[in-house]
Structure 1
Amino acid sequence: MDIEKIKELIIGHFEGNLTGVEKRELVQWLKASDENRKVFAEMADYWGIAHLPYFASHIDADLHENFGMSLNQRQELSQKRFSLFLHWKRLAVAILVLLAVSGLSYYSGYSSQDWTDEVVCFETVVPLGARSKVVLPDQSVVWVNAGSSLRYDKNFLKEKREVYLKGEAFFEVTPDSLKPFVVKSEELAVKVLGTSFNIRTYEDEEEVDVVLLSGKVDVYMNRPVVLKHPVHLNPNEQLTYEKGSEKVFKREVEAADICAWVTGEMKFTKAPFSSLIKELERKYNVKLKVETSALLQEQYTGSFTSEHTIYDILHEINIDGKYEWKQNGNEFTIHDRM
């Protein structure tokens, strides 16, 4: 395919104005070789960086020219010119990291794109020990917690506002009365117009929680036998679904405390250590092995900021010196003091 034609198709795809015929041409080019897909992925990363609000005003004017340059250099295998493109991309990423550090928070994640014949899916996957901020095309903001993933397709804003979540995320949804915002998980769906709320739906946990901080939400269960009608939540209310019993509960909570993880904090009230283990493991990317039943039953009330380390927390839970712990890599074993 002619180099200029490829350039037009890729830019047209990012701008969302390809015809059906042009979409099929681009898909065929992508299917032709791993090299073509690699070029597209690198340009997609660049496009994403260029359209973050901070960078848009700085490099939009040069966007089309530099896309063309990068693609031409790929075709001509001119390593020198292509390295300039990579340098610019690395510089943008470095600036993002610098901004994150200066904000006293650590954000991490990676994005990918899955091709079918017609649809591209955008996914952000966040590793253990990190959290990531995602700005959706409608300017809604999502904070994705450790060990979680968020996915949406390219028609997110055109046809509907729908995302898919595994793990935990906090949403600040931009109001749009014509296009409700829907979060889907394996067990349930949450429908809103404009609000702030938290969903916790980890596969390895027995409960799924939806907590409303502000606005209004309706929660729908994916299996009608569990709940035939949606549950409406008001601020500071939490819906809990128990996977084993398939029961649904609603209760009042301090939503701000539950959502505090967004700023790197942990807040808990009369929580048994057994319920904190998974949260600590995800936050600090460690494995906790508890060889004392007494510790699992102990209840804790308190809070930790992003500045506290796992060592700080282990010291606090053992303030009266009843336990000992040893470390092997990222695994900590806790047992009764001999």
Structure 2
Amino acid sequence: MANDYAQPIDDSLIGKYLAGETDPDESERVRLWLSQRDPSAEDDNQKEFERFERIWETVAQLKPPSEERKAPVDTDAAWQKMRSRMQTGGTTSAPAPSPFTVVRSDEKDVAGTERNDPVVKPLQSSPQPVRSLWSRYWQIAAALVLVSGLGWFLLKNQQAGPAPVPQLAVTSASKTVEKILPDGSKVWLNRGSKLSYPQTFGDDSRDVALTGEAFFEVKPDPTKPFRIRAGQATVQVLGTSFSVRAYDSNVRVAVRTGKVLFSAKKKEVTLVKDEQATFDSQADTIRKSLKVDPNLFAYRTGRLAFKGTRLSEVVQTINEVYRADVRLANNRLTNCLYANTGFENYDTVETVVYVVAETMGLRVRREGDRFIIEGEGCPQ
């Protein structure tokens, strides 16, 4: 049985022994382990106690004030007392701290009888219940984790800055929608478009996002540039009126008044009145045109006007303005010139298509939502 006790023991049993929480069998096992005379084993045991001494001192230093008020035990004084007993009772070959006293073989016990083997006397445990070393250690570790987590949470909140401003959106389905933005600027959304914007603009900028097509009349404010994000492009203005078309990855900007900066990726171009430019995403370039077709603003002005315009261009304009599907039945109709006829008050797409066809002596065939203009060729 003694040989079993002389085997190495785990840290938790040493901790229980130091805290005075071992039962008689466990105490005996620790005492026998500490009384081993093998030099190599004695060095190992000494290192174990040195390690527990450092843990004990660390716990005493980190112990929060609240715990000191709850626990009546003076850990520093208890440790010093334990240390003094270990130093006075230890052997010369093992000066390391040890929580026991030894009566040498040439000493006598209380009855005056000589003893041939050392007697290990454990220190008396405090009459007050003492918390286990590991319990204290885990409590402090949990407190450190809690404090670290709280610090991380506060740091993340500081880095995040103020709460984001709520975002609003306006959409248009089958007709043009007019909207006044928080700064007083006006927007006309063409069919099938969406504009996202903040509930209130920031102190130094006015940023919105567009999908589809919209005409803007921006309220001047030199201190707050107005920026429209449309796909991969950005349009920046101070105060002007213009149209932005971005139903797909290609973006077109046409300026009616004022001046805008049109940029996409690392390219940019400045546009003034009656100029337009298109960002071609496939070619990754911006193409500028010095002439603006007034019909580009038709969804805003409510007017369409054609004067000696090729029929293919008339169809293209109708499709863009009305988001419609109008086609020519054959290529012979492509270069036919349409006479001087205008449309007011945003007539329906059916009206526009049938008037164009009738004026040119052509026919219209309907296939669902698709309109097909048919004829043998251009009228004489």
Q: Give the TM-score normalised by the residue count of structure 1.
A: 0.55
- Kindly report which structure 2 residues correspond to 1:45-124, keeping only aligned pairs within 5 A, or say none: 118=164, 120-124=166-170
**Matches of 1:285 and 1:249 in 2, distance apart?**
23
- Could you report, residue by residue, the CA deviation over 1:163-204 in whole angstroms, capped at 9, with x for unpaired residues? 111121111111111110001101311111111111122218
Q: Is this contact kept in 2: 1:137–1:157, CA < 8 A?
A: no
Deviation at 1:233, TM superposition (A): 1.6
Q: Is this contact kept in 2: 1:217–1:233, CA < 8 A?
A: yes
User: What root-mean-square deviation, in Å, do the aligned CA atoms of Structure 1 and Structure 2 show?
Assistant: 3.1
Partner residue of 2:351?
A: 311
**Matches of 1:182 and 1:134 in 2, distance apart?**
17
Q: Which runs of 5+ in 1 are unaligned?
A: 1-116
Q: Is this contact kept in 1: 2:357–2:364, CA < 8 A?
A: no
Matched to 1:134, the amino acid is K
**Relative to structure 1, is the Cα distance of residues 276 and 153 closer, same or farther in structure 2, using a 3 angstrom cutoff?**
farther
Counterpart selection for 2:326 from 288, 312, 325: 288
Counterpart selection for 1:181 from 226, 232, 239: 226
Q: Is this contact kept in 1: 2:176–2:190, CA < 8 A?
A: yes
Partner residue of 1:196?
A: 241
Partner residue of 2:285?
A: 247
Partner residue of 2:369?
A: 330
Matched to 1:191, the amino acid is Q
Higher strand share: 1
Alignment of 1:135 with 2:173, yes or no, is: no
Deviation at 1:118, TM superposition (A): 4.8
**Matches of 2:314 and 2:192 in 1, distance apart?**
15
**Matches of 1:147 and 1:260 in 2, distance apart?**
15
Aligned residues: 214
Q: Which has the higher contact order (CA 8 A, sep 6+)?
A: 1
Partner residue of 1:237?
A: 275
**Matches of 1:168 and 1:186 in 2, distance apart?**
12
**Relative to structure 1, is the Cα distance of residues 149 and 268 closer, same or farther in structure 2, using a 3 angstrom cutoff?**
farther
What is the SS of the residue equivalent to 1:139?
A: coil
Partner residue of 1:161?
A: 206
**Relative to structure 1, is the Cα distance of residues 296 and 147 closer, same or farther in structure 2, using a 3 angstrom cutoff?**
farther
Task: Report which of the two structures shows the higher radius of gyration computed on alpha carbons.
Answer: 2
Deviation at 1:286, TM superposition (A): 4.6
What is the SS of the residue equivalent to 1:178?
A: coil
Q: Is this contact kept in 1: 2:182–2:199, CA < 8 A?
A: no
Q: Which runs of 5+ in 2 are unaligned?
A: 1-162
Partner residue of 1:94?
A: none
- Kindly report which structure 2 residues correspond to 1:138-149, keeping only aligned pairs within 5 A, or say none: 138-149=183-194
Partner residue of 1:261?
A: 299
Alignment of 1:208 with 2:251, yes or no, is: yes
What is the SS of the residue equivalent to 2:197?
A: strand
What is the SS of the residue equivalent to 2:359?
A: coil
Identity %: 29
What is the SS of the residue equivalent to 1:315?
A: helix
Q: Give the TM-score normalised by the residue count of structure 2.
A: 0.49
Matched to 1:173, the amino acid is V
Q: Is this contact kept in 2: 1:144–1:168, CA < 8 A?
A: yes
**Relative to structure 1, is the Cα distance of residues 136 and 301 closer, same or farther in structure 2, using a 3 angstrom cutoff?**
farther
What is the SS of the residue equivalent to 2:353?
A: helix
**Matches of 1:125 and 1:276 in 2, distance apart?**
27
**Relative to structure 1, is the Cα distance of residues 324 and 153 closer, same or farther in structure 2, using a 3 angstrom cutoff?**
same
Partner residue of 1:22?
A: none
